[in-house]
Structure 1
């Protein structure tokens, strides 16, 4: 009898071991991955494999394989896998973009515009006087002003000891020309001249007349017409 009990005990231990080994060796039927003995659910590595399988078996870059950095980029919405993804613009180029509402300064003009002719004359004349180029200033007068106006300006300048084009002894720092009206073969423009800047700036207004047939300046008067 003791011998029979010993054989039965050995047989029971062997059966329990077989059950344990069989349970540990169980695999998931869907993925072929090992299953945890206590829960019947895939282990952590098996769960990751199943996630990849459910997503269409698409490979996912392992961050650990690249020194802790992942280069995998998900495709944008509406773009299929395998298509090229446009890289974002360099950061330094984005920084060079102009702020909204701030454009590059530009100037335009027309050879048939009386306003442009007056603006061209005052802009060039201010530069010539400021640079101390008397010959250029006289050449500009001869080109843009009528002969009759040049004669009248010479008389005014002799009497007032000032520049008849500016109606002042000094050279302005800024100028602005605005169309006023026209009729009877003439056009009139408002010319605003500014001396200095800030709180000490001084401005004057002139009325400049142009002959529409030649676009030459035929009269300059103080004040606004």
Structure 2
């Protein structure tokens, strides 16, 4: 997809993906360019729909029926408040707040309903693309892995999902396999399959793995095989 190989993709990641594409072509695959024009809206759409669903589902966590229960509460309302305060981390609370907002009166149609409509457009993009190809090859992440103690703001972290979120939005099978190294870290290649066609996607991934030894290098480090 041409939208996945433009601005925002680290040149080092792009270089390794180009090698993988060339290798697939050498093994007999036909490479065609496709377009997924609504890709730019995927992250925005996801972070409306997912928090909305999180808000609705996690509203059931009150410390009574299931989930974490605070130990020092003296009343039912206090137990609910403390259970949610102590049991949910910062990111969960952030998503609940955002989801509650987009589902609130006066904002549902403007945000959640609109996001669901865009989700349909994203799915249609993939339907059109799969009329031309069997498997889609894309980056897993736009950048090389950052240090475990790297400081990044939530928005920057959300944007790292720009290539993987559309797959989930469209309800498609996807897999990430290592395809090279940059700055001493593995570069992930994402393969996306047609609906209910995991077999073709897995065969394409397995064929690439058997032609390389990246998984053998990563195995002692706990990487994907």
Query: Please, what TM-score do these two structures have when normalized by structure 2?
Result: 0.19
- Larger fraction in helix: 2
Larger Cα-atom Rg: 1
Q: Which has the higher contact order (CA 8 A, sep 6+)?
A: 2
- Larger fraction in strand: 1
